[in-house]
Amino acid sequence: MFDRIIRLLSRYGTTFLGGLGTTLLLALISVGIGCILGALVAMMRIGRVKTLRAIATTYVEIIRDTPLLLQLYFFYFMLPDILPQLKLSKFTCIAVALVINSGAYMAEVFRSGIQSIDRGQTEAARSLGLSSRQTMLRIVLPQAFKNILPALCNEFVAVTKETSLASTFYVGDLMTQYQVISGKTYLVLEPLIIIGIIYFVITFTMSKLIAVLERRLKEDD
């Protein structure tokens, strides 16, 4: 089996690398934009405007209570349907769906982080004359960020692994390449082991990096 893995690697190395690239790109997009979206939605959820609060809550609940695969299908068919003039690629539709999915989970992480900060911090900042926006950006979020780092790390890892569902639509991620290669070579376990190791290395590195960051921030205290 080992020599077959080596042969697969030498023959389809670039294919695996291409898959790795796409997976990383999808992960980066859904984690990065999902983070920003999540932070915004979290603000809406704890904000004072009732309609925004209702919209944010509905969004989070719908996304959390339906399967990701269903959401992927939904956006895959819905987006080109309602925005035909944009000529969206498969990849874009899937990326949008992943962002919207991870945004909802990130929103919950951010919300719990923001609410974990003592009200006194906000009061002290407001009493100095800071606006609520300045207070959020300069006082609450920096402290909340430190508290949510472990939960955020879990989200990053989960999102990265979930990009594998995108292979249902053949967008060229690692899991897609597995299907391609195993279709060509009639090998199942070997390519699976290879992409398994690649996934492991990505997520393991990510959690280690975040652990380092976490330790750094702690030393700051």
Partner 1 sequence: MTDFSQAPVLIRVEDLHKDFGNLHVLRGISDVIHKGEVVSLIGPSGSGKSTFLRCLNRLEEPSSGHIWFDGVDITEKKINIDLHRQKMGMVFQHFNIFPHMSVIENITFAPVLLGKLSKAEATEKAEQLLSRVGLLDKRDNKPSRLSGGQKQRLAIVRALAMEPEVMLFDEPTSALDPEMVGEVLDVIKQLAKNNMTCVIVTHEMGFAREVCNRVLFMDEGVICEQGSPRDLFDHPQNPRTRDFLSKVL
Chain residues in the site for partner 1 (CB under 8 A): 118, 120-121, 123-131, 134, 138-139, 142-143, 146, 220-221
Q: Please report how close the Cβ of residue 186 comes to partner 1 at its closest, in angstroms.
A: 57
Q: CA-to-CA distance for 47 and 132, rounded, in angstroms?
A: 10
Choice between 143 and 207, CB closer to partner 1? 143
Shortest Å distance, C-beta 47 to partner 1: 16
Q: Minimum distance from CB of 152 to partner 1 (Å)?
A: 17
Structure tokens given for 89: 């690629």
Q: Which is nearer to partner 1, 60 or 125 (CB)?
A: 125
Q: Compare residues 130 and 206 and give the one whose CB is closer to partner 1.
A: 130
Count Cβ atoms within 10 A of the Cβ of residue 153 and give its class: 0-12 exposed, 13-18 middle, 19 or more buried. buried
Please answer whether residues 175 and 166 qualify as being in contact, where contact means their C-beta atoms are separated by less than 8 angstroms: yes
Q: How far is the CB of 134 from partner 1 (least distance, A)?
A: 6
Cα radius of gyration rounded to whole Å, the chain: 21
Residue 49 class from Cβ within 10 Å (0-12 exposed, 13-18 middle, 19+ buried)? exposed
CA-to-CA distance for 118 and 140, rounded, in angstroms?
A: 9
Question: Cβ closer to partner 1: 137 or 189?
Answer: 137
Q: Closer CB to partner 1, residue 14 or residue 127?
A: 127
Buried b (16+ CB within 10 A) or exposed e, 52-67: eeeebeebbeebeeee
Dihedral sign of CA atoms 176, 179, 185, 191 in order:
positive
User: Distance (Å, rounded) from C-alpha 13 to C-alpha 131?
Assistant: 54
Q: Minimum distance from CB of 112 to partner 1 (Å)?
A: 18
- Nearer to partner 1 by Cβ, of 29 and 139: the residue is 139
Shortest approach of partner 1 to residue 143 CB, angstroms?
Answer: 5
